[in-house]
C-alpha cells in the first residue's frame, strides 16, 4: 500500500514499525500514551512519601499501633509489589535486654515485616538504642485501585521494660515512610 499524506496531515499506508529508529521522541507521545501496565517489570510506577514528628511509648507486651508514620498507597496495576521503607531519627529506645520488637504492618496483612536493619548502641543505664531502617518488599495479592495502608507497630518485650520510639533526648524526632509501587 502506498504512503499517502492528505491535506489535513493524516498519513495512511504506514505499517507499524515503519518509521526509522529514533524518529519519535517522548515529546511526540500523547499524554497517557504509555500506561503503567505497559511498563517493564521492576519499573517504579508511583512513589508516596510521608513524615511525622513525635514520640511513642508503650508498656504493652502485644503489638499495638504506635500512631507514628502511617501512609497509604492506591495501586495502579494488579499484583504490583510495594517497596516500603521507614526511617527514624534520632532513635528507637527499646530498654535493656529487650530484643527487637518493632514491626511494619499493612492493612491487607496482619503482619508485614520485622525490624530488618539497624545500628545499635548499648548503654548500661539506658539499654539498646537503634537508629533503624525498616524496609520490606511487600507482594500482596491485590487488584488495581486497592488502597493499602502501612503502620508502625511496637511492643515491649517479655520483661518489664518499656518501649519508647524516638524519645528524642532533647531533639525533635522525625519519622519518614516511603512507598514505591513496582511493576509486576
Give Cβ neighbours of residue 116 (< 8 Å, ≥ 6 apart).
133, 134, 135, 136
Regarding pTM above 0.75, the answer is no
Q: Which three cell numbers stand for residue 110?
A: 496482619
DSSP bridge pairs for 143: none
| Distance of alpha carbon 1 from alpha carbon 68, whole angstroms | 65
What average pLDDT values come out for the chain (184 residues) when binned by 10 residues?
Answer: 79 79 78 79 95 81 81 94 82 50 72 42 48 79 91 70 63 83 94
User: CA torsion angle for 53, 87, 165, 75 (degrees, to 10)?
Assistant: 80
CA distances from 123 to 3, 120, 126, 128 (A): 79, 10, 5, 6
Query: Cell 548502641 appears where?
Result: 121
Contact 114, 92 (CB under 8 A): no
pLDDT attached to residue 130: 56
pLDDT attached to residue 121: 41
pLDDT attached to residue 140: 86
User: CA torsion angle for 118, 121, 123, 129 (degrees, to 10)?
Assistant: -30
In the chain the first and final C-alpha atoms are separated, in Å, by 39
| Distance of alpha carbon 140 from alpha carbon 79, whole angstroms | 7
How many Cα atoms are found within 13 Å in the side-chain-facing hemisphere of 177?
21
Class of domain 41-182: mainly beta
Amino acid at each position: 500500500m502506498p504512503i499517502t499524506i492528505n491535506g489535513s496531515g493524516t498519513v495512511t499506508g504506514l505499517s507499524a514499525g515503519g518509521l526509522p529508529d529514533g524518529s519519535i521522541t517522548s515529546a511526540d507521545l500523547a499524554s497517557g500514551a504509555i500506561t503503567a501496565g505497559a511498563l517493564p517489570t521492576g519499573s517504579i510506577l508511583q512513589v508516596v512519601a510521608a513524615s511525622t514528628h513525635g514520640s511513642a511509648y508503650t508498656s504493652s507486651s502485644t503489638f499495638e499501633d504506635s500512631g507514628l508514620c502511617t501512609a497509604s498507597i492506591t495501586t495502579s496495576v494488579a499484583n504490583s509489589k510495594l517497596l516500603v521503607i521507614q526511617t527514624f531519627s534520632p532513635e528507637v529506645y527499646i530498654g535493656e535486654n529487650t530484643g527487637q520488637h518493632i514491626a511494619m504492618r499493612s492493612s491487607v496483612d496482619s503482619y508485614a515485616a520485622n525490624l530488618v536493619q539497624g545500628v545499635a548502641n548499648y548503654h548500661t543505664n539506658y539499654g539498646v538504642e537503634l537508629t533503624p531502617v525498616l524496609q520490606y518488599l511487600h507482594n500482596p495479592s491485590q487488584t488495581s485501585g486497592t488502597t493499602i495502608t502501612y503502620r508502625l507497630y511496637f511492643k515491649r518485650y517479655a520483661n518489664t521494660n518499656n518501649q519508647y520510639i524516638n524519645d528524642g533526648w532533647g531533639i525533635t524526632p522525625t519519622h519518614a515512610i516511603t512507598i514505591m509501587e513496582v511493576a509486576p
